[in-house]
Amino acid sequence: MSYFFHRQMNKNKNRKNEQGRIASGQWSVVSGQWRAGSGRRLESRGLFVWLTVAILVLVVWPASLGAAERAVRINLGTLAPRGSVYHKSLQAMAEAWRQAPGGGVRLVVYPDGTQGGETDMVKLMRVGSLQAGLLSAVGLADIEPGIGGLQDIPMVFNSLEESQKVTEQVRPTLEKRLAEKGFVALFWGDAGWVHYFSKEPVITPDDLRRMKIFVWAGSPDQVSIMRHQGYTPVPLETADILPGLQTGMITAAPLAPIFALAAQVDLRAPHMLNLNWAPLVGACVVKKDIWEKIPAASREVLMTAATRAGAEIRQGSRKESVEAVAAMQKRGLTVHDLSPDLVERWRQEAEKSYPEIRGHIVPAEIFDEVRQRVQADRSADKK
């Protein structure tokens, strides 16, 4: 014990002597060295290196943290299935946004309806839990009812090209209305046609009247119109479609094939009416207040990436829609084609609902503009 005690005492004594020598010395600005009072010179290269590193850490590290903290985070919700062209294109857009100038934007995509149905997602955007959404016209109509004019007028379009052309024509009006409601449209697109999937074959309008038909929750006007036309609508959230088919709560649902395939709807509703009832039109929107927090120069880059994603989604989703029908046919889906006479019969049935759709589901001025543009384009094509 005495040995260790004296050893420690010697260490303390040596330390004090060293501190005394340093304290009695002085720093030479010219040589960059410490001159001890005893004349001993302490080299300072290691000290310089340490000070330089410390200064860099103190300056650069907080700056990099500040850039990360300044990066705007945008949470985007969608019903689009994980791994679909929608999801992949949004992920590519997110990567482009991350690399945008000014620190980029962190875009986080939540697919598969993990944030709820489209009505739920619109509510989440309004309270700030989500800042963006890739939504169909159903969800978008909760923000701006005029968008329903692109999807909620059954059989108004003869082709997807016709639908796309009219969408581009009325887009400025709809985007202005969205902006007034606090949203910015990043891009527009469609996912092909909506078809009726049913537990039993549906060939005529009377066949459909015998079905219990899914409609999106939060659409009281649509429920009222369908009942007036002799149908039996059942309002549900999207997540309840498959359980509803399983329990018999519903027996038919209008869906885009890619969503029917992803949810395995065809296993419970193995019949599809091959009638182009309506295009599934949608848009990617972001809250205006969060968008305007991004520098203008960066927004231009982000919008370019968004436009590219929209084009990819439109082209890829139409292809996926056709492929989805073929895939479901391989596992037992029966597709019911219609004669021209039956297609015309369905068209007449659809047009019976137009007076009630106009001004109730779709604002009258948008309803009229869509129909007028369709007729004008068709007239021009005949010339």
CA distance 299 to 336: 47
pLDDT in tens, 329-376: 999 999 999 999 999 999 999 999 999 999 999 999 999 999 999 999
DSSP element (H, E) containing 379 = helix 364-382
pLDDT in tens, 144-186: 999 999 999 999 999 999 999 999 999 999 999 999 999 999 9
The reported pLDDT for the residue numbered 146 is 97
In angstroms, what CA-CA distances link 250 with 241, 245, 325? 8, 5, 21
CA distance 374 to 77: 32
φ/ψ of 68, rounded to 5, equals -65, -40
**34 or 292, which is more confident:** 292
φ/ψ of 231, rounded to 5, equals -95, 170
CA distance 173 to 154: 21
The model's confidence at residue 38, banded by pLDDT at 50, 70 and 90, is very low
CA distance 232 to 209: 7
- Is 1's pLDDT higher than 90? no
Work out the number of other CB atoms within 10 angstroms of the CB of residue 116. Answer: 18
The model's confidence at residue 130, banded by pLDDT at 50, 70 and 90, is very high
CA distance 335 to 128: 43
H helix and E strand count, the chain: 15, 12
- Is 117's pLDDT higher than 70? yes
Beta bridge partners of 35: 26, 41
The reported pLDDT for the residue numbered 346 is 98
The model's confidence at residue 381, banded by pLDDT at 50, 70 and 90, is confident
Residue given tokens 């889906």 in the structure block = 333
The reported pLDDT for the residue numbered 70 is 64
CATH 3.90.870.10 fits 67-382, yes or no: no
In angstroms, what CA-CA distances link 112 with 48, 83, 91, 160, 197? 56, 10, 14, 25, 20
For 207, what's the count of Cα atoms within 13 Å in the CB-facing half-sphere? 17
The reported pLDDT for the residue numbered 28 is 41
Average pLDDT taken over every residue of the chain:
86
The reported pLDDT for the residue numbered 63 is 39
- Is 24's pLDDT higher than 50? no
The model's confidence at residue 102, banded by pLDDT at 50, 70 and 90, is confident
Quick one: what percent of the chain has pLDDT higher than 70?
Answer: 82
pLDDT in tens, 251-306: 999 999 999 999 999 999 999 999 999 999 999 999 999 999 999 989 999 999 99
Note whether 258 and 238 are within 8 A (CB). Answer: no
CA distance 192 to 170: 19
When pLDDT is averaged across residues 322-328 and rounded to a whole number, the result is 97
Alpha carbon distance, N-terminus to C-terminus of the chain:
112
